[in-house]
A = this chain, B = another copy of it.
């Protein structure tokens, strides 16, 4: 951060030699894991390490910052965007972009690049892991053994078989497609819901999510959070799924009406849930902590070393493409 530019000419000369600036408001997880790779290519403006207030920090760099790097957690608001008049690129280490004000980016002609499908296989693996865990009670079994109950409390209740279960996938993008591929190997029967029926997909399509639920034993939420998907999974959908039904969420917490989910779980209106995402992270509804048919995870479905490395390379490649006036590798095209 400590730059000593007393001579304007010298400053200009240095600017030409220095790597391009990238603003980071709070450190994205992928950036934290591979910071040295970023620092080798860019001058990272770490707002979060500055003694200045964010307001002052932004004011200082307002006219020079052309690119911001963010995570899926940092809100990129219209207010922030207006305070960075030179901004041309928002790049995120997340696939989800619900934290970015896309209409405002569009208005200001700011490009957005996300993580594309770099995490899809890991998130799909995690969704399947959560499903096996809930249906076969693995975390509950682990808890049972660690509490020394095996020798004194006999057997846990019987679990449910995966083979033959009807799995409804909500959002058949790259994650949903990978989930389907894996669960076919377990003998599950796949159908799906998405905005529109996919060409070249043979799984049955249900245009209505309640209809999908009433034809499913399991719902796996793999969609992104948009105005259309917010609170799409409500009490009506869960009632359609039924008392033995299981919900897995690796999309975003707010796709489910969390209050109604908690009620349905507590009242036994559905059979169980595996949740990697929540409406108000890191807050998890306390009613869930007492339930053995629920598996809780702190938004970890994408967190592997291998994917983090791949994502760091992709984010760097997007930034290099931008600064080199080449097309972005994974532009968000609908903004």
Chain A residues packing against B (C-beta within 8 Å): 29, 33, 121-122, 125-126, 128-130, 132-133, 136-139, 141-146, 150-151, 155-156, 158-164, 181-182, 184-187, 281-284, 289, 295-298, 300, 303-308
Contacts and interface: CB of A to CB of B under 8 A. Distances in A.
Contact of A298 (B29, B129, B144, B297): B144
A184 B186 contact: no
5 contacts: A122-B136, A129-B138, A145-B284, A145-B296, A151-B283
Contact of A161 (B121, B159, B164): B121
How many identical subunits does the complex contain?
Answer: 2
A29 B150 CA distance: 15
A102 to B, nearest CB: 27
Nearest to A164: B306
Given A282-B151, A300-B159, A304-B161, A139 B139 contact: yes
Q: Determine the main DSSP class of A at the interface with B.
A: helix
A110 B61 CA distance: 86
Taking each of A126, A141, A186, A289, which has the highest tally of chain B beta carbons within 10 Å of its own beta carbon? A141
Given A133-B138, A145-B297, A182-B186, A159 B284 contact: no
Contacts of A185: 181-182, 184-185
A33 to B, nearest CB: 7
Nearest to A121: B163
B159 A295 contact: no
Closest 7 CB pairs of A and B: A129-B132, A185-B185, A161-B306, A145-B296, A150-B282, A141-B297, A161-B304
Given A33-B158, A156-B303, 16 more contacts: A121-B163, A121-B186, A122-B136, A125-B161, A125-B186, A130-B138, A132-B132, A133-B139, A136-B300, A138-B139, A141-B297, A156-B298, A156-B300, A158-B303, A160-B305, A161-B306
B121 A304 contact: no
Contacts of A137: 300
A143 B141 CA distance: 12
A306 B135 CA distance: 12
A329 B186 CA distance: 25
B298 A138 contact: no
A129 B136 contact: yes
